[in-house]
């Protein structure tokens, strides 16, 4: 089993370090690490350091720092505009997309989104997506932490502007004739993929995205919680990430 990963604000400069706070509690109490075991520290911005546990206390872990490394940011970046879904489907999508390699997630207030993110509720929901992405990134041992866009409910107009500035833009749509497995992909920049909510993407929204190519994955219609994951799998394979 690979060493567990814990996120820190910045990698320690010294040869020894004490991991405390929520991550220290998780390491000591949840993971139950013991002296001699290995772990990985990551700053979520490409920096990592291997470490070995020397002592465990209540809510903290002492360690010696080993090899440090840095992994450049992925290029092209994979950005998913995810239609806001009801219940826990949005969080399921965020979790699985993070594990699959998404670099940024943009919550989108689509016309057919049942759930509405307004006011404090919107910010809380957005923060929940960010927390889900953080935990999924740790589970997947990712050195780069995916970001969740600051705007809790990006409008269709804002999405259209994002698509216009992308190196490549695609909309998953069941009536599309192009296959994601065959469309040309850029070697750099942003690849932005739009995934609709449970009710799908309306004709008006599709018309509002003239800079995006409608694509499909196959003949089956996938749920909003799985469509982005499937598309990211295709893109990760085609880009050589997998």
- The Cα-based distances of 129 to 9, 63, 77, 97, 133 in angstroms read 19, 31, 19, 11, 6
Co-location of 35 and 127 in the same domain: no
CA Rg, the chain, in Å?
20
CATH at 38 = 2.40.240.20
186-203: pLDDT as tens digits: 999 999 999 998 888 999
Instruction: Give the DSSP per-residue string, 179-216.
Output: ETTTS---SSSEEEEEE--TT---HHHHHT-TTSEEEE
Among the three residues 48, 70, 92, which one is the final residue of a domain in this structure?
70
158-186: pLDDT as tens digits: 999 999 999 999 999 989 999 999 999 99
What is d(CA 217, CA 3) in angstroms, rounded to the nearest whole number?
35
- Domain region containing 204: 77-238
Q: Specify the pLDDT at position 219.
A: 85
226-238: pLDDT as tens digits: 999 999 999 999 9
Q: Is residue 8's pLDDT more than 90?
A: yes
* Mean per-residue pLDDT, 121-134: 90
The number of folded domains in the chain is 2
């Amino acid at each position: 089993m690979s060493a567990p990963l814990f996120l820190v604000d910045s990698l320690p400069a010294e040869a020894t370090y004490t991991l405390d706070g929520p991550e220290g509690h998780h390491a000591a109490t949840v993971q139950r690490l013991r002296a001699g075991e290995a772990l990985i520290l990551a700053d979520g911005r490409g920096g990592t350091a291997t470490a070995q546990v020397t002592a465990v206390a209540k809510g903290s872990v002492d360690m010696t720092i080993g090899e440090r490394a840095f992994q450049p940011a992925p290029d092209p970046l994979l950005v998913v505009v995810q239609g806001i879904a009801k219940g826990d489907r949005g969080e399921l999508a965020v979790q699985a997309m993070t594990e699959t390699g998404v670099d940024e997630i943009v919550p989108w207030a689509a016309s057919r989104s049942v759930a509405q993110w307004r006011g404090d509720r919107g910010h809380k929901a957005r923060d929940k997506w960010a927390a889900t992405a953080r935990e999924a990134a740790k589970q997947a041992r990712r050195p780069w932490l995916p970001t969740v866009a600051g705007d809790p409910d990006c409008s269709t107009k804002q999405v259209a502007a994002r698509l216009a500035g992308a190196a490549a833009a695609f909309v998953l749509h069941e009536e599309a004739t192009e296959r994601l497995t065959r469309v040309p992909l850029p070697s750099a920049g942003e690849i932005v993929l739009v995934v609709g909510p449970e009710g799908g993407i309306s004709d008006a929204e599709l018309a509002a995205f003239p800079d995006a190519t409608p694509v499909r994955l196959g003949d089956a219609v996938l749920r909003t919680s799985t469509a982005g994951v499937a598309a990211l799998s295709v893109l990760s394979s085609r880009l050589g990430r997998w």
